[in-house]
Amino acid sequence: MRTMYPEIEPYRSYSMTVDGGHTLYVEECGNPDGLPVIFLHGGPGAGLSPYHRRFFDPARYRIVLFDQRGAGRSTPFADLTDNTTWHLVADIEAIREQCGIERWVVFGGSWGSTLALAYAQKHPERVLGLVLRGIFLCRPEEIRWYYEEGGASWILPEKWQRYASAIPPEERGNMLDAYWKRLTSEDEAIRLAAAKAWGAWEGGGITLEESPETEASFASPDVALSLARIEAHYFRNHAFLEPGQLLRDVEKLRHIPTTIVHGRYDIICPAKNACDLAAVWPEADLHIVLAGHAASEPAIVDALVQATDQLADRYC
């Protein structure tokens, strides 16, 4: 099986001011003259991790990564002002122009796959290839599955109980709104408690095998506050997409070489999401592998690295 490329440090990192008072953290790694790729992290609101640089051959790729609005090292932290899918799509274009890149590969997982599809459908002329992992289309049934008392609560019942226990019984009929009320409270302690419960629930379902370390990292304040607030903001607004938009507009992408990678036992984003996308996009190369949701799981790493290597073989 393919593994990640060795650890690498950025050769350039900088802050970039965009509208709405936001400043984005951007970094570039690998070969400055290589095949350009933009990495889109999950969440929304999760931010970058160093291992995100390692899905690409650093000798052949110019790897561009950024923390999306309100996430990671971008500022203001956890801010919701002018923070929508279409603001992020505009940010990606601004970064492309800042880097002097004409066309690039777009790589995104989980929420990053949502954003990658939205960007590619808005700017198909800028996309050389797509690598999509853990497909999330932000449909109402997907939100109900994991964040309301849907199927995920039956698979992770003890973790669901901890997530639900942060909300009084009389409010549990609409968990998303109940959490939103607390995540936007003027009381910092209330905001933090809700964010940590949300983060622990999400981190608790991300890996195929139990990982207390992953769950703890998602519940840490520096991740949980941005993750929970921004996710709840996007999910309450259906990711600022029209119903069925990402499936409807696949027609714009048929000519783009695309690989879809999804874990068979992904609890957060069930494999049906990837199958629904592939059903309307038979030209895409679908891989359902023995894994959960996390990009770091061995079978997912193997498929993703093969996909990026194949694009490098094609274009380099």
Residues identified as active-site: 110, 266, 293
Residue 284 half-sphere exposure, CB side, CA atoms within 13 Å?
29
Q: What is the rounded distance in angstroms from the CA atom of residue 240 to the CA atom of residue 12?
A: 32
Q: Are 61 and 68 contacting, i.e. CB atoms less than 8 angstroms apart? A: no
